[in-house]
Structure 1
Amino acid sequence: MQRKTQAKFIVFEGIDGSGSSTQAELLYQYFQRQKIPAVLSPEPSNGIIGNLVRETLRQRLRFTTDPTQLNRQLAYLFAGDRHDHLYNEIDGVFKQLAAGIQVITTRYYFSSLAYNASNAAEYEFIYRLNQDFPNPDLVFYFDLPVEVALERVQRRSHQEIYETKTKLTQVRQNYQQIFQTYPGNWQQLDATQPPETIHQKILQTIADYFVTAPESGSD
Structure 2
Amino acid sequence: MKPLFIVLEGIDSSGKSTQAELLYNYYLSITQPVVVSPEPTNGPIGKFIRTILSQQVNLYQNNQSFDRQMSYLFAADRHYHVYNQNEGILTLLRQKVTIISTRYYFSSLAYHCQNPRDWELVKSLNQEFPNPDLLIYLDIPLEICLTRLAERATPEVYENKHKLQQVKSNYQVIWREYQGLKLQLDATQSQEKIHQQIVEFIEKNLSSD
TM-score norm. by structure 2 comes to 0.98
Query: For residue 73 of structure 2, what is the aligned residue in structure 1?
Result: 77
Query: For residue 55 of structure 1, what is the aligned residue in structure 2?
Result: 51
Supply the AA of the counterpart residue of 1:197. K
Spell out the pairing of 1:125-136 with structure 2 (5 A cutoff).
125-136=121-132
Q: Does 26-35 or 97-106 show the bigger shift?
A: 26-35
SS at 1:103 equivalent: strand
Query: For residue 40 of structure 1, what is the aligned residue in structure 2?
Result: 36
In 1: Cα distance, 2:192 partner to 2:149 partner: 20
Query: For residue 7 of structure 1, what is the aligned residue in structure 2?
Result: 3
Query: Identity over aligned residues, as a percent?
Result: 48
Aligned with 1:121 (options 114, 117, 123): 117
**Is 1:146 aligned to 2:142, yes or no?**
yes
Question: Would you identify which runs of 4 or more consecutive aligned residues in structure 1 move more than 4 Å?
Answer: none
Q: Is there any run of 5+ residues in structure 2 with no aligned partner, and where?
A: none
Supply the AA of the counterpart residue of 1:27. L
User: Which whole-Å deviations, capped at 9, do the CAs of 1:93-130 have from their partners, x for residues lacking one?
Assistant: 01000000000000000000000011121112111111
Instruction: Quote the offset at 1:154 in angstroms.
Output: 1.2
SS at 2:46 equivalent: helix
User: Which whole-Å deviations, capped at 9, do the CAs of 1:40-71 have from their partners, x for residues lacking one?
Assistant: 00000010000011111000111221111110
In 2: Cα distance, 1:186 partner to 1:197 partner: 18
Query: For residue 217 of structure 1, what is the aligned residue in structure 2?
Result: none
**Cα RMSD over matched residues?**
0.9
SS at 2:7 equivalent: strand
Instruction: Quote the offset at 1:157 in angstroms.
Output: 2.5
Instruction: Quote the offset at 1:211 in angstroms.
Output: 3.1
Query: For residue 216 of structure 1, what is the aligned residue in structure 2?
Result: none
In 2: Cα distance, 1:65 partner to 1:163 partner: 16
Which has the greater radius of gyration?
1
Instruction: Quote the offset at 1:210 in angstroms.
Output: 2.1
Instruction: Quote the offset at 1:34 in angstroms.
Output: 1.6
User: Which whole-Å deviations, capped at 9, do the CAs of 1:161-199 have from their partners, x for residues lacking one?
Assistant: 111111101000000001101010001000111111101
User: Which whole-Å deviations, capped at 9, do the CAs of 1:68-101 have from their partners, x for residues lacking one?
Assistant: 1110110000000000000001100010000000
TM-score norm. by structure 1 comes to 0.93
